[in-house]
C-alpha cells in the first residue's frame, strides 16, 4: 500500500484545509498556493493516483467530478464569466500530488488560445 497523499489526509480530516464543497464522491478545497484569484482543487474521495488510472468502474466518479465543477462554479459565481479547468497528469504534466485532482482557475482572463 503506497503512502497516503496530503489530499487523502485532508479528506480524512488529518490536515486542515479550506473546504468549499463536498459530497459523497468529491471534496473541493482552496489551493494553498493560488495561481489565480479563485483556485480550487476538486478531489475524488477515492485515491485514484491520476487521470490515467481511471478505470471502467470509475465512470460514475468521472461524471461526478465534472458535475461538482459545475456546482462549485455556480457557488463561487464564476459560471457565467468562465474559468479554466486543468488536470495535470504525471511527471511531464507537472503533477506533484499523486491523487487525481482538477484545478478550477478563475477571476482573471486567461490568454485566448494559450494553454499557459
Ligand atoms: P499538481 O501540481 O499536483 O497539479 O497540483 C497540486 C496542487 O496542490 C498545487 O497547486 C499545490 O499548491 C496544492 N497543494 C499542495 N499541498 C496542499 C495542501 O496541503 N493544501 C492545499 N490546500 N493545497 C495544497
DSSP letter string, 31-87: -SS-SSSEEEEEEESS---SGGG--GGGHHHHHHHHHHHHHHHHHHT-TTT--EEE-
Residue 1 counted as domain residue: no
45, three cell numbers: 474521495
Residue 75: the pLDDT is 98
Has residue 21 been placed in a domain? yes
Does residue 19 belong to any structural domain of this protein?
yes
- Please give the distance, rounded to the nearest whole angstrom, from the Cα atom of residue 60 to the centre of ligand 1: 25
> Is residue 81 domain-resident?
yes
Q: Is 101 an active-site residue?
A: yes
Structural domain span for residue 92: 6-106
Any atom of ligand 1 within 6 Å of the Cβ of 29 = yes
pLDDT number for residue 80: 97
Residue-level pLDDT at 1: 53
Give the pLDDT of residue 115: 73
Ligand 1 contacts CB of residue 40 (under 6 A): no
> Which backbone phi and psi does 80 adopt, to 5 degrees?
-80, -50
Count the domains in the chain: 1
102 close to ligand 1 (CB < 6 Angstrom): no
pLDDT in tens, the chain (116 residues): 568 999 999 999 999 999 999 999 999 999 999 999 999 999 999 999 999 999 999 999 999 999 999 999 999 999 999 999 999 999 999 999 999 999 999 999 998 777 76
**Is residue 1 classed exposed, middle or buried when 0-12, 13-18 and 19+ CB atoms within 10 A define those classes?**
exposed
Q: Tell me, yes or no, whether 87 lies in a domain.
A: yes
Nearest atom (ligand 1) to Cα of 35: 10
Answer whether residue 39 is part of any domain. yes
Query: Does residue 54 lie in a domain region?
Result: yes
113 sits in the region (left: phi over 0; alpha: psi -120 to 50; else beta) called left
2 CA to centre of ligand 1 in angstroms: 19
Task: Please give the pLDDT value at position 114.
Answer: 74
**Residue among 82, 58, 6, 115 at smallest CA distance from 104:** 82
Q: Would you call 21 helix, strand, or coil by DSSP?
A: strand
Q: Do the domain assignments include residue 84?
A: yes
Instruction: For residue 25, give the H/E element and its range.
Output: none
CATH of the domain at 50: 3.30.428.10
Amino acid at each position: 500500500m503506497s503512502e497516503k497523499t496530503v489530499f487523502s489526509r485532508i479528506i480524512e480530516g488529518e490536515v486542515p484545509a479550506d473546504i468549499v464543497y463536498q459530497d459523497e464522491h468529491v471534496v473541493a478545497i482552496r489551493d494553498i498556493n493560488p495561481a489565480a484569484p479563485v483556485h480550487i482543487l476538486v478531489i475524488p474521495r477515492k485515491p485514484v493516483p491520476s487521470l490515467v488510472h481511471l478505470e471502467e468502474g470509475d465512470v460514475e466518479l468521472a461524471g461526478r467530478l465534472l458535475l461538482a465543477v459545475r456546482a462549485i462554479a455556480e457557488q463561487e459565481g464564476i459560471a457565467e464569466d468562465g474559468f479554466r479547468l486543468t488536470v495535470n497528469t504525471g511527471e511531464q504534466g507537472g503533477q506533484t500530488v499523486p491523487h487525481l485532482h482538477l484545478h478550477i482557475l478563475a477571476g482573471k482572463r486567461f490568454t485566448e488560445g494559450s494553454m499557459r
